[in-house]
Amino acid sequence: MKHTFIKEIAVKRLTLPLIRPFRTALGQHDTLDNLLFNITLSDGTKGYGEAAIATHITGETIGDTERNLKTVGKKLIGQDSLNYQDISVFLHQTLPKNKAALAAIEMALLDAVTKHKKMPLWNLFGPRSRILKTDITIVIDSLEETEKSARQYYQQGFRAFKIKVGKDPDLDIKRVFIVKKAVHKSSIIIDANQGYNYKQTLIFLKTLKKYGIYPDLIEQPVPKNDWEGMKRLTKTCGIPICADETVQDLRDCLAVIQEKAANVINIKLMKSGLIQGRNIAFLARSAGLRLMIGGMMESSLAMTCSAHLAAGMGCFDFVDLDTPFFLKNSKPNPYLSSNGKYDLRKVKSGIGNVI
């Protein structure tokens, strides 16, 4: 049997406490409750992947994802890991409604392949690794906690802030104003997580303008299926519109391009996996759209994997890979600095030793 054949798979729970609840307009995480998926090749090489479960966003559950990882994983035993392109197609056909499971399998698969080849994962996506600097998220919270968090992260060295809004427009305005005052000339991104409609978004942005606040972009301001709202905002609001939940796969990306429904697309492995995520990036850039790399509530494993994609491709304008900073008592990430800088140039093979 070839050294690159898949010999074993394993699935286990990954539960980590958070420093504070991660609140958005769609709900909140009180802990990180994910799944780890491991692949062992016939030469003993191990690859690691992570399925990040966000039931309040995607509808996926821990139970269903665990069952799918075990069932689909067993079907991969005996297959050559070097056929990862064909395996990716199989996963998209088999797991169309459980992309977190798909992402975990692809992650483990490509981690194992690049470890076997003794090359860093980013090298699959480009000839060199760019240094990335992530933003930091200010979650929905009281005005007092909002200001405290903004000042803390600014002092820590962050200079790009992503502010979660979408629950209460009046309070959202106050929170954005407080953050902007605390972080001086730092970059501001607004993420409504589908919490507004077209009219609310226009009023919100107009009010910010009165305060002299011009966000770099506003992410998913309206419900994901409100294509008309996305199109009208992209055409009229004067602030770049980023499609997140609206773009779940390559077909959605093509629709956004054809309908002119966004200026920016947020690529997340938990929506598309690595292979299709790369293809979405190629398609979006060829149409003149800008790119964000983001994620769900993920550990350093999945976040660093996403960083490999972005660092290797080198075509991402916005980096939102900050969830390791919300985890309590997690293992230090050797490739992530305290002020949010990902430097993967020292990774010798695969994703790197982050778990």
DSSP class of 329: S
Q: Which member of 162, 164, 180, 271 is catalytic?
A: 164
The answer to whether the CB of 266 falls within 8 A of the CB of 219 is: yes
The dihedral region occupied by 146, where left means phi > 0, alpha psi between -120 and 50, and beta the remainder, is alpha
* Residue 249 contacts residue 276 (beta carbons within 8 Å): yes
Catalytic pick from 268, 298, 320, 322?
268
The separation between CA 117 and the C-alpha centre of its own chain, rounded to angstroms, equals: 26
Judge residue 300's burial from the number of C-beta atoms within 10 Å of its C-beta, 0-12 exposed, 13-18 middle, 19 or more buried: buried
Q: In what order do the strands lie in the sheet with 241-243?
A: 136-138, 160-164, 187-191, 217-219, 241-243, 264-268, 290-294, 318-319
Q: Given the residues 50, 66, 135, 191, select the one marked as catalytic.
A: 191
Q: Is 219 a residue of the active site? A: yes
Active-site residue (options: 66, 106, 172, 244): 244
Q: Give the pair of three-digit tokens for residue 199.
A: 């009219």
Structure tokens at 221: 């301001």
Cα–Cα distance for residue pair 355/352, rounded to 1 Å: 9
Catalytic: 244? Answer: yes
Residue at 193: amino acid letter:
N
Q: Is 64 exposed, middle or buried (0-12, 13-18, 19+ CB in 10 A)?
A: middle
The helix or strand, by DSSP H or E, that contains position 17, with its residue range, turns out to be: strand 6-24
144 catalytic? Reply is no
Which is the catalytic residue, given 50, 172, 219, 320? 219
* β-pair type (187-191, 217-219): parallel
Return the half-sphere exposure (C-beta side, CA atoms, 13 A cut-off) of residue 196.
25
Would you name the residues annotated as active-site residues? 164, 191, 219, 244, 268
